[in-house]
Amino acid sequence: MNRSNIVIAVCAALGLGACSPTFNWREVRPQVTPLVALLPCKPDQAARVVPLGGRDVEMHMLGCDAGGATFAVAHADIKDADKAGVVLAQWKAAVLGHVRATSSVDVPFAPPGATALPQSVRVVAQGSRQNGGKLTAQGAWFAHGTQVFHALVYAEEVSPEVAETFFAGLKFQ
């Protein structure tokens, strides 16, 4: 390969790298739920048993990191729709405690198809990481029947456009 071909190949590779998006939004469907979510990267999946609503339930999570932020969607079936509001409030309090929130603002939030509950909210909170670094967390808690959900994006700073794309992408089908 002569020198000019090498230069062209290197420039082409650099150009392709510059075109790769930081946020590669894709639709994901958490297993055994009617939820559709938008995530900006290919998510990892995990499940674990956690206490919710006074009993142990299996929580399923999808999450990934893109553009310096972490995105996650979690859900659990609590088997009792009447407890969904209480569980959402407890779950929100636990997450805000975990991120050491020093201030937070709640607004009602219900993605299309969600159960109407006063505890269905979207929250913007300022907190700190375990190492003391600044943390902005935006989360939403909502329900669909006996299933409860939590969507979260956190980073040092969360762009309003990125957060809006993430939360607007939540819907039930």
Beta strands in the chain (DSSP E): 26-28, 35-39, 44-52, 55-66, 69-77, 103-108, 121-128, 134-144, 147-155, 171-172
Q: How far is CA 87 from CA 22, 50, 53, 79, 144, in A?
A: 34, 12, 5, 12, 13
Element containing residue 146 per DSSP (H, E): none
pTM of the model: 0.86
pLDDT of residue 150: 98
- The structural domains of the chain, with segments of one domain joined by +, span 23-172
pLDDT of residue 128: 93
pLDDT of residue 17: 34
CATH 3.40.1000.10 fits 23-172, yes or no: yes
Nearest-5° angle of CA 132, CA 136, CA 137?
Answer: 115
Beta strands in 81-146 (DSSP E): 103-108, 121-128, 134-144
CA 35/CA 53 separation, integer angstroms: 21
User: Tens digit of pLDDT per residue, the chain (173 long)?
Assistant: 443 333 333 333 333 333 347 899 999 999 899 999 999 999 999 999 999 988 999 999 999 999 999 999 999 999 999 999 999 999 999 999 999 999 999 999 999 999 999 999 999 999 999 898 999 999 999 999 999 999 999 999 999 999 999 999 999 99
pLDDT of residue 75: 98
Calculated CA dihedral for residues 48, 51, 55, 57, nearest 10 degrees: -20
